[in-house]
């Protein structure tokens, strides 16, 4: 069996395609089930984030695996295979490992070095384990990817090159000002109560906004987030503190008329803020102080298909826990709230395919294929909008409304392409290369373990058979003599097997070493079924059963 990944991301596909291909939690579960039911796949996992959708599988046939996984992605995303295929990329075996490790380190992120992807990888593994779609290969792979990502953040300065999409988006809205200076005294509306929305609310409160209003379909979830904000930010930053309150989704239009900045990241498929609602919200309003910024952002589509949270506080980084720790927020409570919301049922609304396509008619583009931009005149901004959702929550036409500044997933991709790369990126690439080589060696060495265990099992059976025959020929042996003879025979067998088994493990760990297992089975005439039975056993059982000293 071999590792295969088929996927698309912001590097390979326009946002309009990513937007339509976004998978909700139920669709991801069905995709995993159907992948396991497909003939070429034995294990499967889906990594779905705001800018990538990837299907990982352990397959026994490369070409059949690519065809099957591509077809399944098309079926479950609702994007036709012919349309989807040009945007798909394929990685196999070591290249697939290299790709995931690079993703885990933030090298393949829209904002290079961001730490949120670690939380998304952790969620991917947890989902695959819960659905029993991850076996030994994918468990080992994703656990190692998490370790590699953490190592990259702890041993290099990759965090200096990356930040969360929330922070990066707010920097784009601030347009040259510091986020703290830009946010002072503003009234903020946060739509959604998942992990990304929780991070946005905490970041705004830390920056010094006067009020944070949290809107969510289930008010109870908004209330939980508000309670956390009040506990941490009520009077900790300034004399007045940051006020926080929760409202239902039907109050969004009214709250928008009072908001200076709105951040939206929900699981809805349709638009949450239409151009008409936004135009009504800013009608007759005077921009707040300090809101003069260069012209509008490039229109775009985008919708964060999965909320993101990181399981570790990384040095200088901006993962959910990392940024919360910097802000003095109760990081554990924030992540617990995000997990509670993200795993709760009943939040998503699915439109018909025709309605969805009509709502997503604005064409996207590949971020790398950016058109040249000319400086635009300074604009007065009454309402700043940050859309971190996929499919998008905010109508892309909002950028044409006077007094509105919109930043969304595609404009963030465009802006991040202009950001300078950190020197530490090269160090991270070296770490990834080393870890890929180590993982491959470990997997190849593990591949021969069942054969070695089967060989030792056969040797133990031969010893037992010969001792039984000796008992028949020399029935007068006392227990002490019999035990000494048995131990001597076992020591001889172990010493004869020690050097070849140790050496074959070393050779098998090298590239191209897979053939040594076949040679060992042939030389010692080992039963393939016996080897397969050992392979199906747990590692503890395989190592412990009939094993003599090395």
Could you list the active site residues? Answer: 50
CB 88 within 8 A of CB 11: no
CA–CA separation, 550 and 547 (whole Å): 8
Phi-psi region of 527 (alpha: psi -120 to 50; beta: other; left: phi over 0): beta
Q: Work out the angle at residue 546's Cα, subtended by the Cα atoms of residues 537 and 477, and round it to the nearest 5 degrees.
A: 155
Q: Where are the beta strands (DSSP E) in 219-285?
A: 243-248, 261-264
Q: What tokens does 281 get?
A: 């919200």
Q: What are phi and psi of 289, to 5 degrees?
A: -60, 145
Instruction: Give the pairing type, strands 383-387 and 52-59.
Output: unpaired
Q: What tokens does 358 get?
A: 């009509």
CA–CA separation, 205 and 324 (whole Å): 11
CA–CA separation, 207 and 186 (whole Å): 10
Q: Given the structure tokens 């802000």, which residue do they identify? A: 327
Q: Given the structure tokens 């300074």, which residue do they identify? A: 378
Q: What tokens does 548 get?
A: 């003599």
Residue in 442, 507, 505, 449 with CA at minimum distance from that of residue 147: 442
CB 364 within 8 A of CB 18: yes
- Between the CA atoms of 282, 283, 288 and 290, what dihedral angle is there, to the nearest 10 degrees? 80
CB atoms within 10 A of CB 198: 33
CB within 8 A of 32, min separation 6: which ones? Answer: 44, 45, 46, 127, 128, 131, 133
Sheet containing 383-387: give its strands across: 243-248, 211-216, 187-191, 261-264, 383-387, 404-407
Residue 419 CB burial class (10 angstroms; 0-12, 13-18, ≥19): middle
């Amino acid at each position: 069996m071999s590792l295969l990944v088929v996927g698309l991301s912001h590097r390979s596909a326009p946002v309009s395609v990513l937007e339509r291909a976004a998978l909700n939690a139920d669709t991801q579960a069905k995709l995993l089930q159907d992948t396991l039911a497909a003939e070429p796949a034995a294990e499967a996992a889906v990594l779905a984030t705001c800018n990538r959708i990837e299907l990982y599988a352990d397959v026994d046939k490369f070409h059949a695996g690519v065809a099957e996984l591509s077809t399944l992605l098309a079926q479950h995303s609702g994007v036709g295979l012919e349309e989807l295929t040009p945007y798909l990329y394929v990685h196999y075996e070591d290249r697939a490992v290299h790709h995931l490790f690079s993703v885990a380190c933030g090298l393949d992120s829209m904002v290079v070095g961001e730490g949120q992807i670690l939380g998304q990888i952790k969620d991917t593994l947890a989902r695959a384990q819960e659905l029993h779609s991850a076996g030994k290969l994918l468990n080992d792979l994703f656990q190692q990817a998490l370790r590699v990502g953490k190592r990259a953040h702890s041993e290099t300065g990759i965090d200096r090159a990356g930040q969360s999409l929330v922070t990066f988006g707010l920097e784009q809205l601030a347009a040259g000002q510091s986020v703290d200076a830009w946010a002072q005294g503003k009234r903020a509306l946060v739509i959604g109560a998942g992990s990304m929305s929780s991070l946005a609310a905490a970041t705004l409160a830390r920056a010094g906004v006067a009020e944070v209003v949290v809107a969510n379909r289930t008010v109870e979830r908004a209330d939980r987030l508000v309670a956390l904000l009040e506990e941490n930010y009520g009077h900790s930053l300034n004399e007045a503190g940051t006020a926080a309150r929760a409202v239902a989704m039907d109050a969004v239009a009214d709250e928008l008329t009072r908001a200076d900045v709105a951040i939206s990241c929900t699981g809805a498929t349709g638009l949450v803020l239409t151009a008409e609602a936004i135009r009504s919200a800013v009608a007759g309003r005077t921009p707040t102080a300090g809101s003069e910024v260069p012209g509008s952002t490039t229109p775009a589509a985008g919708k964060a298909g999965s909320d993101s949270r990181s399981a570790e506080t990384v040095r200088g980084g901006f993962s959910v826990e990392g940024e919360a720790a910097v802000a003095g927020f109760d990081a554990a409570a924030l992540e617990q709230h995000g997990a509670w919301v993200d795993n709760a049922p009943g939040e998503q609304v699915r439109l018909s395919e025709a309605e969805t396509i009509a709502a997503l008619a604005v064409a996207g583009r590949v971020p790398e294929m950016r058109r040249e931009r000319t400086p635009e005149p300074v604009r007065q901004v009454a309402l700043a909008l940050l859309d971190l959702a996929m499919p998008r929550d905010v109508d892309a036409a909002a950028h044409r409304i006077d007094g509105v500044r919109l930043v969304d997933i595609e404009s963030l991709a465009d802006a991040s392409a202009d950001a300078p790369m950190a020197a530490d990126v090269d160090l991270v690439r070296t770490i990834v290369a080393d870890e890929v080589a180590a993982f491959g060696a470990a997997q190849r060495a593990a591949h021969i373990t069942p054969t070695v265990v089967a060989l030792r099992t056969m040797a133990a059976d031969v010893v037992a058979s010969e001792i039984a025959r000796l008992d028949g020929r020399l029935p007068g042996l006392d227990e002490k003599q019999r035990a000494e003879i048995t131990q001597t025979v076992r020591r001889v067998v172990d010493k004869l097997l020690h050097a070849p088994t140790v050496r074959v493990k070393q050779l098998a760990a090298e590239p191209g070493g897979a053939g040594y297992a076949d040679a060992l089975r042939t030389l010692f005439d080992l039963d393939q079924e016996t080897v397969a039975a050992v392979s199906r056993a747990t590692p503890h059982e395989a190592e412990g059963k009939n094993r003599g000293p090395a």
